[in-house]
Structure 1
Amino acid sequence: MAEAGPRREGAPGQEAAAAADAGLPVVVRAADEAALYRVARRRARKKVQRTERVDVRYSVSEKQAILAEARRLNLAAAHLVGALVVAHLNGDLVLPGQRTSHDDLIDELAALRTEIARIGTNVNQVARKLNSGGHPHPGDTALLAEAGRVLVLARDAVTSIDVTSDNAATSKAA
């Protein structure tokens, strides 16, 4: 089935539009989002294409939910289902009844780390622009000092998140 329009991965409002098309509410927890992207990210193209097939039956509502999520992630439905099954077999993804609070904590921390790293990147870009030369403006010195302080805070926060994530993963394995 051909798509109605061009695919625009990452376009603003794409997630909300896909959920609205499927009649689903747009409520996503960071842990759920992080877990799904960790598992369903695109795999590298292999020289030999997969040829083995498994047929599965879904109810109409289950199929609609799978198709909506695949559209939201800009993936083929077969790839989404296959990636989730293989991830479960590899121990990277547990079934809903098997998911623990450690899994949620680790995924929330991963999402938080990403957001804080983005803040650090943005502050770094501001500092680079202010340090690029030219004639400084009256508030540039104070702004650079504040940018440096925010970068230190972001670095400390990311380090703390890394340590906490490692502790959570270690205690889960034990």
Structure 2
Amino acid sequence: MAETRGRRGAPEDRQRVQATPVVLPRAAEAAALHRIARRRKRKDIQRKERVDVRYSVEERSAILAKARSLNIAGAHYVGAVVMAHIHGDLALPGQRTPLDDYIDELTVLREQVAKIGNNANQIARKLNSGGHPHPGDTAALAQTERTLNAVRSAISEIVAAADRAVTKRTAQ
């Protein structure tokens, strides 16, 4: 079951990505948006350029509701969010984020730890195959059992971390 849960929600391409430090958990989404919206400073001169954008009624209502909750104008909110995206502070839906890289790294780690477990299983199978036991077989079998228990525990923790990351990503 752990094998099927490890890639849930991760992109289908299996390219390896350099490990990047991921700071988790981040501030609450509302606090992060408020911080980004407040970061946009007023200019000494009035902004004269205008960009017209079309929204559905639902999108406009959601934008204005969020702007009101942050106590700023809708145009200020939209401008702040767009500029935050341009500066790399926000990701668009469907865009690859450091959290996606983290999920992929966890998946690769789970696969590597599972290979250790497969090797330990092969050792245990060989030692339990019958015949006359050799000196040290009992100690090797006991160590193999401890290794398998550690591998099972590690895989469970990795899968749990991946599940938390996927849940966090889908909540964003």
Instruction: Please report the TM-score for the alignment, with normalisation by the length of structure 2.
Output: 0.46
Q: RCO (CA 8 Å, sep 6+): is it higher in 1 or 2?
A: 2
TM value normalised by structure 1: 0.46
